[in-house]
Amino acid sequence: MDISISSYYLIFPLVLLTFYPFAPNFFVSIINIYTALISFFVLILIIADAELYSNWGVRFDATPLLYLKNPVDALASVSGFLFMFLITLLFLLLFIAYRSHQYLVNKYSFFSIHYYYPFLINIVLILFLIIPIRGGIGIAPLNTGFVYFSNHNYANHAAINVNWNFFHSALNNDPLNTHNLYLNSDTAKNIFTEMTSKNYSSGNLINSQNPNIIVFILESFTAKLMFSHSGMKGITPNLDSIAASGIYFKNFYASGDRTDKGLVAILSGYPALPDNSIIKFPLKTEKLPSLTKALSARNYYSAFYYGGNIDFASMRSYLTISRFDKIISDKDFDKKDQNSKWGVHDHLLLKYLLNDLVSLPKPFFAACLTLSSHEPFEVPIPNNLPDDTEEQRFLKSAYYTDEALGNFFKAFKNSPLYKNTLLVFIADHGSRFPGNDFVVPEKYIIPMIWSGGAITKDTIITQVGSQIDFPLLLLSNLNIDGSDFQFSKNFITAPHSFAVYSFNSGFGYVDNTGFLIYDFNKNALDQTSYPDPQPQLTNAKAFMMELFQNFEAL
């Protein structure tokens, strides 16, 4: 893989050297400039990869390009100190590369040889580069799985050349063509139809046909934070208290690991793709169903509240297409309140929401996306929790958001709106913290809690569900047709409940009996807890094949 990307980079210099004898000084200058540009690009990828891997657990690929439309917001995840360190490291390595290039060229360069470089020999050399570029003379071209050699994924990831991985990802990001699951399409369709059957009751969870609905989409709020899930004390006392008096979905999973993917999963019931995000394809998202469209049949007014840049990750286009009547973002707050790297901290956002709800037409559907528990986890509270490590800073930021949610809940409970309102607390995705999970189910398990005066009872739901099931669950409890949400299922009373989640180059499948993780680079199972995983693997493959084909057809 190292040789392959080096061969790609050699094509241009070899073409120039073919004509080198005709203007030596000119072509030497061009090659020097090319070397400088390539060095800069290579080092940028290496440094970005080093930081990204610690947070995402995957080598740098084309995924971050989605977020570079708003570079300031994309860099908001990085602390000021870390950013300066990475920039300093970049220039230090550039200086070392420059001096090394000077030394090697002056000492060993053939530029000093004064004869015409044979034109035909150079052409042959260029043609021979096809072999190392392809990774050999075999039928199959080089792919990421070629360098996998170990049972430990960290070692396999270390073997991947980040430059090669970036270009391969950028040029091969079609999920249908990239991932062949070797399952008959008719068989997959039949299995998928049975898996997502909507012929089951979703329970009687709401006592009103037209309640006001507030959905809190909580940044990175893994269920691992909650005492009711993991036994961890002191981080989410308010959310734990709300769960104790509400409907707590104990085995609920995120569909993906990014906010843009979670948003579409929650509001449109559309699963996360492994290596892409449907939100960046407006022509596709406009064909998706959405809760706002479905609720408009009951004359619901819809509003979306976010304290950050609404244009980041194509959120504005998606929300507009979804027909939100009102969209609130950082531009609606005073400059003095925009004191987070991402925009406005959560306590200010929730205060704005609390004040604004009174004036909304009734019934309303309001979605509120928090941001303070996003990297770099800088929150405006006293140092009452340790924050020496990244994990401690994450826990502190979650504690802060939980406190802000608790203050909102206490104030709203005294409002006349409370009696006829359903409050839903759900995360956009999970987190590798606490711990250091990347692809196992524990990273993707998230809380979902229903509360407010509109719920019928307090209970714990133990069946396995997913973000993509939320739209159908809500609509069926309102007696609104949710058949457009084809990936959703009534998981509460279905005989077999499950969740599928996606990550870069793979997917996971979870039910009440175990889990499995499939790696596209290996084209094989990576982990499983099932004694015989074949039935579950077939189900998971059928689900993913239907997703890929649906995405392609939209």
d(CA 465, CA 534): 21
> Quick one: pLDDT at residue 342?
92
Lowest mean pLDDT among 74-78, 270-274, 312-316: 74-78
Closest CA to 421 of 363, 361, 359: 363
Domain around 81: 2-173
pLDDT the model gives residue 177: 47
pLDDT score, position 69: 65
- 489: nearest Cα among 188, 185, 186, 193: 193
Sign of CA dihedral 141, 144, 148, 151: negative
Q: Both 331 and 377 in a single domain?
A: yes
Tokens of 420: 């006829």
pLDDT at 66: 66
Which pLDDT does position 68 carry in this prediction? 65
Residue 237 CB coordination number (10 Å): 15
Helix, strand, or coil (residue 428)? coil
Q: Residue 6 has what pLDDT?
A: 95
Query: 302 and 242 share a domain?
Result: yes
Q: Name which residue leads in pLDDT, 119 or 187.
A: 187
pLDDT band at residue 298 using 50, 70 and 90 as cut-offs = very high
pLDDT above 80 for 276:
yes
Closest by Cα among 272, 142, 255, 148 to 524:
148
In this structure, is the dihedral angle defined by the CA atoms of residues 326, 329, 335 and 336, taken in order, positive or negative?
positive
Instruction: Give the model confidence (pLDDT) of 310-320 as tens digits.
Output: 988 889 989 99
Structural domain includes residue 529: no
Average pLDDT over residues 334-344: 92
Q: Is 114 a residue whose pLDDT tops 70? A: no
pLDDT band of 352, cuts 50, 70, 90: very high
Give CA–CA dist 170/154, Å, rounded.
22
Q: Are residues 126 and 210 in the same domain?
A: no
CA 488 to CA 248: how far, in whole Å?
19
Q: Are strands 247-253 and 459-461 parallel, antiparallel or unpaired?
A: parallel
Beta bridge partners of 448: 249, 426
Q: Is 56 part of any domain? A: yes
Question: Which of 83-87, 182-186, 355-359 has maximum average pLDDT?
Answer: 355-359
Name the pLDDT band for 294 (thresholds 50, 70, 90).
very high
* Residue 218 shares a structural domain with residue 127: no
* Amino acid sitting at position 155: A
Q: Is residue 542 part of a domain?
A: no
* Burial (Cβ within 10 Å: 0-12, 13-18, ≥19) of residue 362: middle
Q: At what angle do helices 390-413 and 237-244 cross, to 10 degrees?
A: 50
HEC-encoded secondary structure of 447-481: EEEEECCCECCCEEECCCEEHHHHHHHHHHHCCCC
149, 173, 197: which is the final residue of a domain? 173
Give the predicted TM-score (pTM) of the model: 0.83
Whole-angstrom distance, CA of residue 275 vs CA of residue 169? 8
d(CA 540, CA 538): 5
Q: Identify the CA nearest to 172 among candidates 142, 195, 203.
A: 142
386-414 residue pLDDT tens:
889 999 999 999 999 999 999 999 999 99
* Full DSSP string of 369-419: E--TTSTT---SS-S-S--SSHHHHHHHHHHHHHHHHHHHHHHHHTSTTGG
- At residue 108, does pLDDT exceed 90? no
122 pLDDT above the threshold of 80:
no
What's the CA gap between 465 and 492, in Å, rounded? 8
Helix runs in 286-345, H state only: 291-295, 315-321
User: What per-residue confidence (pLDDT) applies to 538?
Assistant: 96
CB 57 within 8 A of CB 354: no
Q: Is residue 179 part of a domain?
A: no
Dihedral angle sign, alpha carbons of residues 473, 476, 478, 481: positive
The CATH number given to whatever domain includes residue 252 is: 3.40.720.10
- Are the C-beta atoms of residues 53 and 60 closer than 8 Å to each other? yes
Same domain (yes/no): 151, 262: no
Whether 547 is covered by a domain: the verdict is no
274: phi then psi, degrees, rounded to nearest 5: -65, -50
Phi, psi of 465 (to 5 degrees): -135, 175
Beta bridge partners of 248: 449, 460
Please give the distance of CA 509 from its chain centroid, rounded to a whole number: 17
d(CA 191, CA 67): 35
Regarding whether 139 and 244 lie in a shared domain, the answer is no
| Number of C-beta neighbours around residue 413 at 10 A | 15
Closest CA to 515 of 447, 439, 437: 439
Sequence letter at residue 179: H
Tokens of 123: 């052409």
Q: How many domains does the structure of the chain reveal?
A: 2
pLDDT above 90 coverage of the chain, percent: 66
Is residue 554 included in any domain, yes or no?
no
Q: How far apart are the first and last CA of the chain?
A: 35
- Percent of the chain scoring above 70 in pLDDT: 93
Do residues 239 and 96 both lie within one domain?
A: no
**Summary mean pLDDT of the chain:** 90
Overall average pLDDT of the 264-269 stretch:
98
Closest C-alpha to 299, from 237, 383, 210: 210
Based on the fold, state whether residues 15 and 82 are members of the same structural domain. yes
Kindly state the DSSP code that residue 308 receives in the 8-state scheme.
B
User: What is the residue type of 167?
Assistant: F
The single-letter code of the amino acid at 474 is L
Token pair 């047709």: residue:
481
Could you report the per-residue pLDDT of 147-194, keeping only the tens digit for each?
877 767 788 889 999 999 899 878 765 545 456 788 888 999 999 999
The pLDDT, as a whole number, for residue 118 is 59
Whether 499 is covered by a domain: the verdict is yes
Beta-sheet pairing, 326-328 with 364-369:
unpaired
Q: Are residues 419 and 323 in the same domain?
A: yes
pLDDT at 473 over 90: yes
pLDDT at 72 over 70: no
Angular region, 143: left φ>0, alpha ψ -120 to 50, beta rest: beta
Residue 102 banded pLDDT, cuts 50, 70, 90:
confident
**Residue 160 located in a structural domain:** yes
Query: CB burial class (10 A; 0-12, 13-18, 19+) of residue 348?
Result: buried
Q: Provide the sign of the torsion angle of the four alpha carbons 524, 528, 533, 538, taken in this order.
A: negative
pLDDT of residue 509: 98
Residue 136 predicted with pLDDT over 60 = yes
Q: Kindly state whether residues 347 and 496 are assigned to the same domain.
A: yes
Helix (H) or strand (E) holding 121: helix 119-128
pLDDT at 112 over 60: no
In this structure, the answer to whether residues 235 and 126 fall within a common structural domain is no
| pLDDT given at position 505 | 85
State whether 97 and 230 are in the same domain.
Answer: no
